[in-house]
Structure 1
Amino acid sequence: MEERPVEQCPFCTADLIGEKIPYSLRERYSPPYFSRLKIGIYNRKLDMITHWQCPFCKGVWERK
C-alpha cells in the first residue's frame, strides 16, 4: 500500500492533498491523489509559476 503524500500550507497548515483518484481514472493522471487546488502565481517574464497561494488562508510562498 502506498503512503499518502503530505502537502500542507506553511501558514495555516491546511491539508492540500485531496481524495485518492479511482484506479479506473489513474491512467489519465500522474499523481494518485487529487490536489486541493493550491493556486499557482505565474510570472510572465520568467514564463513559469514562481509562487503558490493557499486557497484557504490566501498565504503565498515560493515554489521550490
Structure 2
Amino acid sequence: MERLLVIGIDGATWRVLGPLLETDGLPNIKAVMSEGAYGILESTLPPFTTPAWNSMLTGLRPHRIGV
C-alpha cells in the first residue's frame, strides 16, 4: 500500500522557507523534501485559514462547501 503524507505550514511562503532551507534552518523539512515531492499551492481568495484548508481537503471552492 502506498502512503501519503501532506505537510502544510499555514502562512508559510517560499520567500520565508527558501532561505531557511538553504541555511539548514529546517533540516527535517529539507530531508522530507529530498525524499519526496513538493510543490507550490495557490490559496483561496481571500487567503483565510479555514476556507483554504477545507478547500484543500475537499477539492471544492469555499462557496461550494459553505465556508
Interval of TM-score (by shorter of Structure 1 and Structure 2)? under 0.3
Q: Greater relative contact order (Cα 8 A, min sep 6): structure 1 or 2?
A: 1
Give TM-score scaled by structure 1 length: 0.24
Give TM-score scaled by structure 2 length: 0.24
